[in-house]
Structure 1
């Protein structure tokens, strides 16, 4: 893992107006409020927090899929640099080739009318990254094999597969363009617990083999502990704490982080730790 940031987020705010008013400014929802975060090249960064904390909005903003109110996001992989907020339309396709998304729900993310081959190949064809069908097929087979998909299944349709297999297809589709950075938004939340570890291990293997950088968005701290080397904690649009995974789990600095950690289930039947409830007024 390099110490140089691949993604540098500084003082980022994303505000959404709530309705309209005849007089005065309408109230706003501060989905992301003054957040700063560096994502080093080659890292696996976890972004955690409860529902509504702004995790997904932050991930979408990095991918240029949510409007930025204030602040900056800079992508720099050593070959190209993009100012995400002010990216030019002619550069957007190239940026999206380098920064991709793995969706949460593998059932909703895949078109039931397309074969697995066509689903994985679509980004290549839309972006014009291959010159012939033979070249496209070669790229599809290569990434499918890396995602541990049976090549005989490329002619089948998504309904023929389990949730874990569908998520492998989604991962292959995200990686077929050769990205450097991937946002995995609750990528295992919709899967059975027995399948989650298999997909997480696959993501770690792909990170090493393809030199990928991940932002792993999750509400499950036990999953984050398994795969991430750095963790950032959000609450109501603000960044509460950032630290290497072992340090954060061993010695959380913020009360909200301690409350999240107290909610992790224990396998020890004698462990009767009470779940702590975060009250921001008590820590003000």
Structure 2
């Protein structure tokens, strides 16, 4: 299976102040990361808060700086070095690679109707030629995201968290992307709603031939939807493998510590948590 996205030795470093003498200190949010994302796959990226997951996802979309290394996107129609895109290529890449945000409450403008929220990317990028064509695209993707079409005239405050996340998903998919970064896309939702949204993403993956990078801190969620998993710690990928293989036989101590923290209904398993010590 060929890769849709290939990340090679990618680093994103942020300077921490200035010095008169010597090199200024830097925050290595992402440090020499390599990651393959095959076409049609659902790749999970896991790690604790501050591990660099979100920065890596945004760097792949070129929404965060690339200090060094490369991101290659190849969907068969275009072959892009993401870090070297010119203005026209970057606009095209924005239609092919999209982001689903974590918080469905903060991601949607309270002053816009659902129709206008979903339609905004089409209008900003001038991807449709008329309001009728825009409305048709909006209705089509709203239906695929299991939104009631009569709700398109309402405002976000009228909807639950799960419905708002469906609106966010529809907005991300309305441009017809091939690659989607879902950044903690169910973390802000009730557990009862999470499975519904995850099942929707899997259904959309099959229906629209999508490739996902699914960012999460929750390994139990990743196990439910992902084909492959990469484990990140302090800006570095510690381990990556097929999901079943990684869960069955984790190779790195940090991965084992994450797996040990997954809640269990087995009384004999409840006190098996392992704390990772990077100095050990």
Q: Indicate the residue corresponding to 2:149 in structure 1.
A: 151
Pairing 1:267–2:265 present: yes
Q: Indicate the residue corresponding to 1:66 in structure 2.
A: 64
Structure 1-normalised TM-score?
0.98
1:1-284 alignment runs, 5 A limit: 3-282=1-280
CA distance in 2, matches of 1:122, 1:82: 25
Give the aligned length: 280
Q: 1:269 offset after TM fit, Å?
A: 3.1
Q: CA RMSD in A?
A: 0.7
CA distance in 2, matches of 1:49, 1:11: 19
Aligned to 1:281, what secondary structure does the other structure show?
coil
CA distance in 2, matches of 1:64, 1:272: 41
Q: 1:244 offset after TM fit, Å?
A: 0.2
Check conservation: 2:46, 2:53, Cα contact below 8 A.
Answer: yes
Check conservation: 2:229, 2:241, Cα contact below 8 A.
Answer: yes
Q: 1:89 offset after TM fit, Å?
A: 1.2
Aligned to 1:215, what secondary structure does the other structure show?
strand
Deviation per CA, 1:51-79: give whole Å up to 9, x if none. 11110000000111111111000000000
Q: Which runs of 5+ in 1 are unaligned?
A: none
Q: Which range moved further: 154-163 or 20-29?
A: 20-29
CA distance in 1, matches of 2:14, 2:131: 43
Q: Which range moved further: 224-233 or 85-94?
A: 85-94
Q: 1:273 offset after TM fit, Å?
A: 3.6
Q: 1:81 offset after TM fit, Å?
A: 1.1
Aligned to 1:35, what secondary structure does the other structure show?
strand
Runs of 4+ in 1 over 4 A off after TM superposition: none
Q: 1:25 offset after TM fit, Å?
A: 1.3
Check conservation: 2:44, 2:213, Cα contact below 8 A.
Answer: yes
CA distance in 2, matches of 1:206, 1:85: 28
CA distance in 1, matches of 2:267, 2:113: 47
CA distance in 1, matches of 2:270, 2:74: 47
Q: Which runs of 5+ in 2 are unaligned?
A: none
Aligned to 1:202, what secondary structure does the other structure show?
helix
